[in-house]
Amino acid sequence: MATPSGWRREGNLPAELTSFVGRTRLLANLKRHLAESRLVTVTGIGGVGKSRTVLRLAHQVRTQYPDG
């Protein structure tokens, strides 16, 4: 069966190349917000870890969004 380009069984999220540290409570809060809202905005000073945390979150919830 044809698949969209870039499609993989494990999804199309960028791989996490280093281990992720902490942020347990933040991830739990973000997960809760994401279940309630279509759009969740994460703000913070440069380099504080916004992108990395959201990427971790995306990997954690990926299977709940089968269409990507």
Position among 52, 59, 61, 62 found at the interface with ligand ATP (CB under 6 A):
52
Residue 59 is a binding residue for ligand ATP (CB under 6 A): no
d(CA 46, CA 49): 8
What's the closest the beta carbon of residue 30 comes to ligand ATP, in angstroms? 13
Residue 28 is a binding residue for ligand ATP (CB under 6 A): no
Residues that bind ligand ATP (CB under 6 A): 18, 20-23, 44, 46-52
